[in-house]
Amino acid sequence: MGAALLTLFGVLALVLAGVGVYGVLSYSVNQQRHEIGIRRALGAQENDVMRLVAGQGMRLAIAGLALGLLLSGVFARLLATLLFGVSAMDPWTFLSVTTILLVVAFVACYIPARRALQVDPLVALRYD
């Protein structure tokens, strides 16, 4: 029962993290609409805009993952009594969770980045 409850809370935290990253990047894209329009008018390619927007979110996600890995290494010993069948420092568990979090963060960054590509340079330049 405890493991099922912790799994449910973990999935809920994953969904909330994804929604949070999406919300922050969506707000950032909305605030940078004028800048993105200027970049597009000056000849920025779609890949450049995607890299700009998705790079902002992925930098935050990677920093959070690094901090989370450090803290999880410290607190893994406290959770050792709750684990069954794996050690507290199981590298496959850390790798799989990190991969899942990176995929969720990438998807949450990709959606606002695709929306940033739809910024019309003329509309953004007239906006003041």
pLDDT one-digit tens code per residue, 7-56: 899 899 989 988 988 898 889 888 888 888 888 888 888 898 889 888 88
- What is the spatial distance between Cα 120 and Cα 33, in angstroms, rounded to a whole number? 9
86 vs 62, residue with greater confidence: 62
* 94-120 average pLDDT score: 88
- What is the spatial distance between Cα 18 and Cα 116, in angstroms, rounded to a whole number? 18
Give the pair of three-digit tokens for residue 87. 């050690």
The pLDDT score that the predictor gives to residue 99 is 93
The pLDDT score that the predictor gives to residue 88 is 78
- What is the spatial distance between Cα 7 and Cα 43, in angstroms, rounded to a whole number? 47
% of the chain residues with pLDDT over 90:
19
* Predicted confidence (pLDDT) at residue 127 exceeds the cutoff of 70: no
Reported residue count of the chain is: 128
- On average, the pLDDT of the chain sits at 85
Give the pair of three-digit tokens for residue 25. 């990047």
101 vs 2, residue with greater confidence: 101
* 85-99 average pLDDT score: 83
The pLDDT score that the predictor gives to residue 41 is 85
DSSP per residue, the chain: -HHHHHHHHHHHHHHHHHHHHHHHHHHHHHHTHHHHHHHHHTT--HHHHHHHHHHHHHHHHHHHHHHHHHHHHHHTTTTGGG-SSS-TT-HHHHHHHHHHHHHHHHHHHHHHHHHHTT--HHHHHH--
* 72-92 average pLDDT score: 80
Which amino acid is it at 95? L
Q: How confident is the model at residue 60 (pLDDT cuts 50, 70, 90)?
A: confident
